[in-house]
Structure 1
Amino acid sequence: MLKALKKMFGKSDAQPLAADTGATRALPVDTEESTPPATAAVAPAASPEPAAAAAPIIVETPRRPRPPKPVAPAWNRADFQVAPQEGKTRFHDFALTDELMHAIHDLGFPYCTPIQAQVLGYTLKGRDAIGRAQTGTGKTAAFLVSIISQLQQTPPPKERFMGEPRALIIAPTRELVVQIAKDAAGLTKYTGLNVMTFVGGMDFDKQLKQLEARHCDILVATPGRLLDFNQRGEVHLDMVEVMVLDEADRMLDMGFIPQVRQIIRQTPPKQERQTLLFSATFTEDVMNLAQQWTTDPAIVEIEPENVASETVEQHVYAVAGSDKYTLLYNLVTGNDWERVIVFANRKDEVRRIEERLVRDGVNAAQLSGDVPQHKRIKTLEGFREGKIRVLVATDVAGRGIHIDGISHVINFTLPEVPDDYVHRIGRTGRAGTSGVSISFAGEDDSYQLPSIEALLGRKINFEMPSAELLKPVERKRS
């Protein structure tokens, strides 16, 4: 074979390969339009290569085929066994898709919470709903499961712009938006639905790029930033199938309702969309808004057995305003508390407390409306990971922030609204764990205590701090 090849390549009168070998590859019929035959590329006969200089024949060793990647076994409902239990509702009891059930299984939710069981009983049938439940009861998952189920049952329109969400969730604070979006990402894991967030205080162009890269199915946003996108023509709300207003009472308190009205006017009429409204309280103003924005809503109210969780041990120290910082410092440094939230009513208070703690050697950070959004997110992650020991915050962190392992909540100043007290101390003692709340009642805020006790339905005993807890703070030498 080798000799035959050498003889062929060593011919002085080279011919096209097809002519020499009788190759079966057909030449083009129309020679005027076709590529010139292979002979044009053959070396001229006048200078033939000697046989010894013929190119060596290289026989390549075939590569070993890569072993196929192991395929994960397909998930099915048999992997998610939940026994029926009297007085409890399973997610199996609703007509949810396998993709959604798979995500619920991954998240470890065997049974519905009371608000989930009642709300889903209405919303999965397409009804509007108004829900009232205290923080930490699972209302976020209630409306997310309903949204995902709706979007899975109804195929998206064939003609659709990138900036046309099918579901819209409006929340009052940036932290709450981020938390809702995180929960939504977990529940949509196997559905192919895209979740996006729009919040103020973060780079507008970066948020715009994510909108331009893919279709938006579920949009979670604060009112102001959503209006920015809408008024610039980047987001169109005419295809919204489901709209959720979370923390409606908070949006009223923060003055967001005029902005929310502008947003709702951009969505389809209330008869053509499903509207879900959630609030910690049902004030007259909240119910008036619900009447304007919903159609024949189901009203779900979950009355907690106790307004404040029984897993939270509550204390109130009677202390002069001038001694509050000393008491705080000695409590934090004299104990092995690893993750503490300190609440104050005003942003300037938060800043001063944080600055003093840092100056006195305590690893602390602040969280308030004055802190840029990118820094707030970094601060929350540092606190969640245990890199920050004390988080000093306004009530912006009182709702919607779910961080495990918060051992103590300290009310440096008592809140002006009793409901905020419940939300604050609800940051600890979550998921069945125990927690401690300590409130400082001074001459300027102790008058708030009776209304808080009225809401709780019980008295909270005053305690006098010991002399050890009031010993002066030793200033660090610079």
Structure 2
Amino acid sequence: MLKALKKMFGKGSGEQPAPTPQGEAPAAAREGRSQPPKNDKPARDGKPRAPKANAERKPRDEQAKADKPKPEKPRRERPAKPPTPASTWKLEDFVVEPQEGKTRFHDFPLAPELMHALHDLGFPYCTPIQAGVLGYTLKGRDAIGRAQTGTGKTAAFLISIITQLLQTPPPKERYMGEPRALIIAPTRELVVQIAKDAAALTRYTGLNVMSFVGGMDFDKQLKQLESRFCDILVATPGRLLDFNQRGEVHLDMVEVLVLDEADRMLDMGFIPQVRQIIRQTPPKAERQTLLFSATFTDDVMNLAQQWTTNPAIVEIEPENVASETVEQHVYAVAGSDKYKLLYNLITQNNWERVMVFANRKDEVRRIEERLVRDGVSAAQMSGDVPQHKRIKVLEGFRAGHIRVLVATDVAGRGIHIDGISHVINFTLPEVPDDYVHRIGRTGRAGASGTSISFAGEDDAFALPPIEELLGRKINCEYPPAELLKPVPRRH
């Protein structure tokens, strides 16, 4: 499959280049993109960028707004956010011994401020997707990456973005609402998680990170945009278009564009919106584009061909599709007994942090309501829950105040919470890949975890395709009688 992909993009052997030695500037800071006057920036292929006819900003949709022209906002220049003091930290404090078969972050030309953040986070060695991607992107190449969930691809593109922005000074004349790096993700939870990771990695750099998602106060998000320059913007497609079409966000200064979970954006119907957004950014020869996907379907690769230039393809094939740290079980159980089984598993085993997945929003709501009624601390996560409440629920679950999080597949990707001991599939997903993403919420960062799936008369048909994807059978058993005891009535 990898050979076919490389043939599509006209590549040769595809061997990963050796990391650039520490201290060497990558590809002359993107072949000249560091020059301050933004209209004079050369393209990454060396051709000069055509100057704009008028350097003054014009509204993006003049024809649509001809009847009601919007006055141009005055330029507002404010000092950049001061970086968090690094105290007396030195690179020598971050000692990582070379190990055979492992790539250190020291092996790449990363700024001391970024290395300090990696040290704080406890990341001495790169994961395979990080080592593979950074070997190309730090030299200015576009890249397409595929790796299973929880492998560190978020840090891979954030490290690349931060390095680019630190090595290429912003133009002297700059407008508010002009991000230099743009990350588009399909769900609100994933956007919030990426922004949180970006804030941790930029802690000592002075770079500003902002996130725009639907379901939250528009004016509050607008105020943060008006308060300081935006270096890294993470957004869902719909809310980003809202800001762009109102003239609050302009994308013609984007140096790095990241599309995360492209396969899911296809599934959710976001591609028309993403196309609108990409048309507002510089041509693909003048920006770096990174695309990540859990699967390389024909549709994903066609999009990559349209939006990238000579991309490096980094495909990390796991030995097993599902993590070896997750122990998997399937209980054959009648639909009418599923709730009793769920309640008894949680209460009899005294589990403290459990995720329960169901396929439909109404199912999620009913399970959560019954658990709460029966004295189990629970909350729900689905597309019907307002964003501010979803964030509050996630924080409560992370802090241990909520024992059971019941969710649709909106929480199947992008939610990284340590200490989830069990994932329960109340209903088996119809898409086998969703099974892998669901059970990947446990057994993270080397910890062990357990997944238990309930196979009833209505969803047992979904098990064979899941087993085919995993490449092995999952032992199906009947639950012991004590796990099917009636739920005690509460007075």
TM class by smaller structure = 0.7 to 0.9
Task: Determine the structure 1 residue equivalent to 2:308.
Answer: 294
CA distance in 1, matches of 2:87, 2:403: 42
Per-residue CA shift, 1:97-122, capped at 9, x if unaligned? 11111111111110100000010000
The correspondence of residues 50-129 of structure 1 with structure 2, limited to 5 A, is 73-129=87-143
The correspondence of residues 205-354 of structure 1 with structure 2, limited to 5 A, is 205-354=219-368
Following TM superposition, by how much is the alpha carbon of 1:336 offset from its aligned partner in structure 2, in angstroms? Answer: 1.4
Q: Select the residue among 159, 162, 169 that pairs with 1:155.
A: 169
Following TM superposition, by how much is the alpha carbon of 1:475 offset from its aligned partner in structure 2, in angstroms? Answer: 2.3
Task: Determine the structure 1 residue equivalent to 2:3.
Answer: none
Following TM superposition, by how much is the alpha carbon of 1:72 offset from its aligned partner in structure 2, in angstroms? Answer: 7.3
CA distance in 2, matches of 1:368, 1:73: 43
Task: Determine the structure 2 residue equivalent to 1:383.
Answer: 397
**Is 1:396–2:410 an aligned residue pair?**
yes
Task: Determine the structure 2 residue equivalent to 1:35.
Answer: none
**Is 1:445–2:455 an aligned residue pair?**
no
Change in 2 beyond 3 A, CA 1:73/1:293:
closer
CA distance in 1, matches of 2:318, 2:178: 38
Question: Residue type of the partner of 1:347?
Answer: K
CA distance in 1, matches of 2:143, 2:87: 38
CA distance in 1, matches of 2:411, 2:342: 19
Task: Determine the structure 2 residue equivalent to 1:432.
Answer: 446
Q: Select the residue among 142, 156, 180 that pairs with 1:142.
A: 156
Task: Determine the structure 2 residue equivalent to 1:196.
Answer: 210
Question: Residue type of the partner of 1:200?
Answer: G
Question: Residue type of the partner of 2:471?
Answer: G
Question: Residue type of the partner of 2:412?
Answer: G
Task: Determine the structure 2 residue equivalent to 1:474.
Answer: 488
CA distance in 2, matches of 1:180, 1:117: 19
Say which SS state the counterpart of residue 113 (structure 2) adopts: helix
Per-residue CA shift, 1:264-319, capped at 9, x if unaligned? 00000000000000000000100000000000000000001111111111100001
Question: Residue type of the partner of 2:374?
Answer: D
Per-residue CA shift, 1:143-197, capped at 9, x if unaligned? 0000000001111011111100000000000000000001000110111100000
8 Å CA contact retained: 2:86, 2:204: no
Say which SS state the counterpart of residue 268 (structure 1) adopts: coil
Question: Residue type of the partner of 2:388?
Answer: H
Identity %: 88
Say which SS state the counterpart of residue 380 (structure 2) adopts: strand
CA distance in 2, matches of 1:311, 1:100: 30
Say which SS state the counterpart of residue 278 (structure 1) adopts: strand
**Is 1:405–2:433 an aligned residue pair?**
no
Say which SS state the counterpart of residue 356 (structure 1) adopts: helix
Say which SS state the counterpart of residue 327 (structure 2) adopts: strand
8 Å CA contact retained: 2:333, 2:479: yes
The runs of 5 or more residues in structure 1 that have no matched partner are 1-70
Per-residue CA shift, 1:204-227, capped at 9, x if unaligned? 000000000000000000000000
Following TM superposition, by how much is the alpha carbon of 1:474 offset from its aligned partner in structure 2, in angstroms? Answer: 2.0
CA distance in 2, matches of 1:465, 1:102: 50
Say which SS state the counterpart of residue 314 (structure 1) adopts: strand
Question: Residue type of the partner of 2:131?
Answer: A
CA distance in 1, matches of 2:473, 2:192: 36
Q: Select the residue among 428, 432, 441 that pairs with 1:414.
A: 428
8 Å CA contact retained: 2:147, 2:315: yes
CA distance in 2, matches of 1:136, 1:442: 29
Following TM superposition, by how much is the alpha carbon of 1:335 offset from its aligned partner in structure 2, in angstroms? Answer: 1.1
Question: Residue type of the partner of 1:213?
Answer: S
Give 1 or 2 for the bigger CA radius of gyration: 1
* TM-score when normalising by structure 2: 0.82
CA distance in 2, matches of 1:366, 1:87: 42
The runs of 5 or more residues in structure 2 that have no matched partner are 1-84
The correspondence of residues 36-55 of structure 1 with structure 2, limited to 5 A, is none
Per-residue CA shift, 1:360-413, capped at 9, x if unaligned? 111110000000000000000000000000000001111010000000000000
Number of matched residues?
407
Task: Determine the structure 1 residue equivalent to 2:187.
Answer: 173
Q: Select the residue among 343, 358, 363 that pairs with 2:372.
A: 358
8 Å CA contact retained: 2:114, 2:202: yes
**Is 1:372–2:386 an aligned residue pair?**
yes
CA distance in 1, matches of 2:87, 2:311: 42
Following TM superposition, by how much is the alpha carbon of 1:472 offset from its aligned partner in structure 2, in angstroms? Answer: 1.4
CA distance in 2, matches of 1:327, 1:286: 40
**Is 1:455–2:476 an aligned residue pair?**
no
Following TM superposition, by how much is the alpha carbon of 1:247 offset from its aligned partner in structure 2, in angstroms? Answer: 0.5
CA distance in 1, matches of 2:402, 2:274: 35
Question: Residue type of the partner of 1:277?
Answer: L
Say which SS state the counterpart of residue 401 (structure 1) adopts: coil
- Which runs of structure 1 show a deviation greater than 4 angstroms over 4 or more consecutive aligned residues? none
Say which SS state the counterpart of residue 452 (structure 2) adopts: strand
Say which SS state the counterpart of residue 103 (structure 1) adopts: helix
Following TM superposition, by how much is the alpha carbon of 1:73 offset from its aligned partner in structure 2, in angstroms? Answer: 4.8
Say which SS state the counterpart of residue 437 (structure 1) adopts: strand
Following TM superposition, by how much is the alpha carbon of 1:234 offset from its aligned partner in structure 2, in angstroms? Answer: 0.3
8 Å CA contact retained: 2:178, 2:230: yes
Following TM superposition, by how much is the alpha carbon of 1:470 offset from its aligned partner in structure 2, in angstroms? Answer: 1.0
Say which SS state the counterpart of residue 383 (structure 1) adopts: helix
Following TM superposition, by how much is the alpha carbon of 1:74 offset from its aligned partner in structure 2, in angstroms? Answer: 2.1
Following TM superposition, by how much is the alpha carbon of 1:466 offset from its aligned partner in structure 2, in angstroms? Answer: 1.4
CA distance in 1, matches of 2:351, 2:143: 41
